[in-house]
Amino acid sequence: MSVVDASGQIIPLSVNYFPHRKCNYACKFCFHTDKSSKTVPLDEAKRGLKLLAEAGMKKINISGGEPFLNPRFLGEIIKYCKAELKLESTGIICNGSKVQLRWLEEYGEYLDIMGVSCDSFDDDTNLKIGRSDNGRGVHKNKVFQIAEWCRDRQIMFKMNTVVNRFNVAEDMNDSVAEIAPFRWKVFQVLLLEGENKGPNALRDATDLVISNDEFKAFLERHKEQKCLVPEDNEAMENSYLLLDEEMRFLNCQGGKKVPGRSILKVGVQTALQDAGWETETFIERGGIFEWERKQSEELSW
């Protein structure tokens, strides 16, 4: 699978789309904060996603903000991408707090990957991080519950963890082994100017930063987890195609996120010139993997 076609044009193989920035949590390290209330209507979002599919997109990952704050929009986007655009893989990254079984019953057949962010299995640690809703800590039971719902529907379950000052010494082995995600993405906390660092940021994550050696120690502690996929700052910064609420690619080169021109106005190839996407780093970090679920005939929706 290539990220460049015969003419040398970039293929946007895998795209991470942030349809809005709203979130019910206040994670202190968040690098996509609620700085804008803008979004595009569903029909315009579909038009943009169709342009991406025509340009070669095979996988879409919906994040936020918290995508489940607008469950119908999220469901209809996932359904459109899978049923009409015939994408190989549709995925979601969420905090888990708003996932409802009835949503999975309606839209689960169109979803390949459900990702839940889980930075700790300790309630006090989650409260320190800000991963809570109105001061209520995230209970690990919800993560386990969503994983079970996904297994029952043969949706691949993924877990994301941001290693930071508050959880860097935690041993998550037993809980991760019990949940058994097909991928456990482990990120080193990343600072981006204007998002979680600097005078114009809504967050200040400087006190949560850890050293490379501390990150390596966390990985070493969890090396027996076969699902572990680590990403340090260098791997994270320029290896993702990030599409914001106005369908603009975000360029993370230089330690901040700079929006380019919207694909709705200039088309995909012109917009990709603004993205700062390092295709080699994307491949090196394992950006291409088995991302399409295998559904048995026994499961009927």
Q: Is 23 a catalytic residue?
A: yes
Task: Tell me whether residue 252 is one of the annotated catalytic residues.
Answer: no
* Cα 269 to Cα 204: distance, rounded to the nearest angstrom: 35
Interior/surface letters 141-155, b for 16+ CB within 10 angstroms, e for the rest: eebeebbebbeebeb
Active-site position among 23, 118, 150, 227:
23
Phi first, then psi, for residue 247 (nearest 5°) are 60, 45
Strand partners, 114: 92, 157
Burial bucket for residue 220 (CB in 10 Å: 0-12, 13-18, 19+): exposed
Query: 27 an active-site residue?
Result: yes
| Catalytic residue from among 30, 94, 118, 150 | 30
Please identify which of the residues 27, 94, 150, 252 carries the catalytic annotation. 27
User: 52 near 33, Cβ under 8 Å?
Assistant: no
Catalytic amino acids? Answer: 23, 27, 30
